[in-house]
A and B are shown apart, each in its own frame.
Chain A
Amino acid sequence: MATKKAGAKPNVSAEELLHYYREMLLIRRFEEKAGQLYGMGLIGGFCHLYIGQEAVVVGLEAAADEGDKRVTSYRDHGHMLACGMDPKGVMAELTGREGGYSKGKGGSMHMFSKEKHFYGGHGIVAAQVPIGAGLALADKYLGNDRVTFTYFGDGAANQGQVYETYNMAQLWDLPVVFVIENNQYAMGTSVKRSTKSPSLWERGAAYGIKGEEVDGMDVLAVKAAGEKAVEHCRAGDGPYILEVKTYRYRGHSMSDPAKYRTREEVQKMRDERDPIESVRTMLLDGKHASEDDLKSIDKEVKDQVNEAAEFSKESPEPAMEELWTDIYAKEIPQGEAV
């Protein structure tokens, strides 16, 4: 694999650009629909939308190979769609129905897919970080050259277990990419108000872990950084940290009073840095696609999301017996060694 200079725009084909456009749009439309279903009372509890952050996961998925693993927090819908999980199954889990990925027993924050190597969906801030390193330990132990993408937030970056994990991941050369999705807020607490060491990736240096900051509103920059990180891990050089600077447009969850930042701040991001708009402009300016081409993609995506929403309403609630199943396993349902 050719190494790209950090920061340099990699060459990218029209097909790839169109693919990223489609993937990001799918996440955005899906999340808007989820917000709408929440408003209608069809989705309950906590529901954390990924709107604004789409380029992070789409860029990193573009750097992943078959069999690579991923694990993240409760803000997980985008990750699931980007790794190829079925929007119908995800939406039906949000509505708590039998057709959901966890048969309605997990909810928005807890879904898994062995097939797509998606290991959750974790609700305790930063708990997924050692789990991600453990997945990487399994891969290393089994002697395959897979890499685990371990996503966590800027708020999670202040949890002790992150640093316990950094230490062991580097000590044991585990093939794990730590992706800090720095959307600048942990609920209502900005990074500035939670630490005097705001360059989160640099904290890895204390453990000897390399890393870098990445523009998370630019899908191509994320992809390029992801490729570099993956190459580092696959070469057996241990973990790598990507601090991806991004922004969430919506509230932390559905019940966010939005008092900790100004409307102007959000609007400015949307107007100037939107990751989908910028790919759209690239496609149009580069004459890789016409307005009509994009319109038809928009329509396809909208149909796909509507189909998922329909499915999530029609799928029945889980049968009462489900209350009592899946507490203990008889066989071993766990990740397949690839």
Chain B
Amino acid sequence: MATEILMPALSPTMEEGTLAKWLVKEGDTVSSGDILAEIETDKATMEFEAVDEGTIGKILVEEGTEGVKVNQPIAVLLEEGEDASAADDVSSGAAEPAAAPEGDTDTREAKAPAAAAQPADPPKADASPDYPEGTETKTMTVREALNSAIAEEMERDENVFIMGEEVAEYQGAYKITQGLLDRFGDKRVIDTPITEHGFAGIGVGAAFGGLRPIVEFMTFNFAMQAMDQIINSAAKTLYMSGGQMGCPMVFRGPNGAAARVGAQHSQDYAAWYASVPGLKVVMPYSAADYKGLFKSAVRDPNPVIFLENEILYGRSFEVPVLDDFTIPFGKAKIARSGSDVTIVSWGIGMSYALEAAEKLAGEGVEAEVIDLRTLRPLDYATVIESVKKTNRCVTVEEGWPVASLSNHLSAYIMENAFDWLDAPVLNCTGKDVPMPYAANLERHALITTDEVVEAVKKVTYR
């Protein structure tokens, strides 16, 4: 049976092209792979190969013809034994271009809910305490809390292991992994060479292969070298595999400015990671949150970015004494209640937020301070409920101002609580400069408590 040879689509964007040159003529026999014609597309001149074998019965489009539409018949191919007359009554059946269904006219879409992901009712804020009142607590540094969280999770599940630079024999560049090598051995506490891109990828492969890796970056500044594996491999694979292949692992390490280490060692990546669907992003402030959230991170079936802070490592907080203390993701904490203004922060930003709230209290302004704790998922409900109560909001973020999480929060509040606002939302962020080294400049490049106090005064018109 004769079949039509159709004008092919030779690039992702091609809709029509020029049939520049025929390399076969009527009567030629061709087999699969033979070049039939040269076709000029929107990108280049390309060769068009035969897929089936047969004889060219008729050429329907002369060479030099411009604007030949994709899927338009350009020649007729005869099968073995057919004569040229068959070319005149081609069965279009075999070659019928089964046009790709148009996505936006698909009837299935009409049946689907308008926006499947948007929940019908906004979720209510969950103000339940992280642990029951009266639970015994113990004073611990962030470092101790994190160390114990890692150890507890490694104890619980033998497929949990930790790898990174200096995590084992050196006991951790910031002593977070102190003692783990002795306790768990070098199979589970693995010193890597200085090779972030490579070991991040090895961590991803190990997670695909059934383990629960904890990958430590000495600091997140160096994770830029591993960014591709984190985003393209870890975050996107579940989706690209239609839900088949997940990547349960934690990437952790100190993030943001330490002290006087210059521009390349002082960046806050919160907004970068928080913009990526497929990642979960945690950035705790208190030791209890470090502990409870880290344990949840290890158990989470998704890739989790756990952003720590070197300055906080040595700070002490009360941590509940419980056998297995975890905090769910997506639950902000009201660190201080107040009715005059909402201050939203996370990570080390909380130090400025809380200090500012204390100062403001002395001046008669009661600030409600919200610690987001997890940035993805983000607890919008707690923020919105608070803003509806205080009618004012200031955000505090260590990172740069442009395309910051603070910008995102401002936009979200504007869209969802516009009528409740008595003043524009103000963002207190790091300055729009690389981090300087000089002590006075660095102090000024970061957020200061006074700036937060000023911002609150502005939104409360004082």
Chain B 239-277 residues near chain A, CB threshold 8 A: 239-248, 277
CB within 8 Å for A161 and B197 given contacts A40-B71, A130-B204, A335-B210:
yes
Chain A 235-285 residues near chain B, CB threshold 8 A: 249-251, 254-259, 263, 270
Which of A3-11, A31-39, A56-64, A216-224 participates in binding chain B? A31-39
B227 → chain A closest CB, angstroms: 11
A138 to B249, CA, bound (A): 13
CB within 8 Å for A167 and B195 given contacts A106-B241, A131-B233, A326-B242:
yes
Q: Is the CB of B33 within 8 A of A249?
A: yes
A35 to B195, CA, bound (A): 40
| A103 touches which of B99, B116, B243, B246 (Cβ 8 Å) | B243
| Interface assignment of B1: CB less than 8 Å from any CB of chain A | no
CB within 8 Å for A134 and B205 given contacts A119-B245, A160-B197, A168-B193:
yes
CB within 8 Å for A135 and B208 given contacts A39-B10, A324-B116:
yes
Q: Is the CB of B244 within 8 A of A135?
A: no
Q: Is the CB of B242 within 8 A of A32?
A: no
A100 to B240, CA, bound (A): 11
B241 → chain A closest CB, angstroms: 4
Q: Is the CB of B237 within 8 A of A120?
A: yes
Residue of A nearest to B32 (CB): A32
Which residues on the B side are within 8 Å of A95 (C-beta)?
100
Residue of B nearest to A332 (CB): B301
Q: Is the CB of B116 within 8 A of A321?
A: yes
Q: Is the CB of B238 within 8 A of A329?
A: yes
| Interface assignment of B199: CB less than 8 Å from any CB of chain A | yes
What DSSP secondary structure best describes chain B's contact surface?
loop
Chain A 296-326 residues near chain B, CB threshold 8 A: 313, 316-317, 319-321, 323-326
Q: Is the CB of A330 within 8 A of B233?
A: no
Among the interface residues B33, B46, B190, B301, which one has the most CB atoms of the partner chain A within 10 A? Answer: B33
Chain A 21-61 residues near chain B, CB threshold 8 A: 32-33, 35-36, 38-42, 44-46, 51
Which residues on the A side are within 8 Å of B8 (C-beta)?
38-40
Which residues on the A side are within 8 Å of B414 (C-beta)?
none
Chain B 33-81 residues near chain A, CB threshold 8 A: 33, 35, 41, 43-49, 51, 70-71
| Interface assignment of A211: CB less than 8 Å from any CB of chain B | no
List 9 interface pairs A-B (beta carbons < 8 Å), by A numbering: A161-B198, A164-B193, A167-B193, A255-B10, A258-B46, A313-B98, A328-B301, A329-B246, A336-B210
Question: Which 5 pairs of residues, A with B, have the shortest CB-CB distance?
Answer: A134-B205, A130-B201, A164-B198, A138-B209, A39-B8
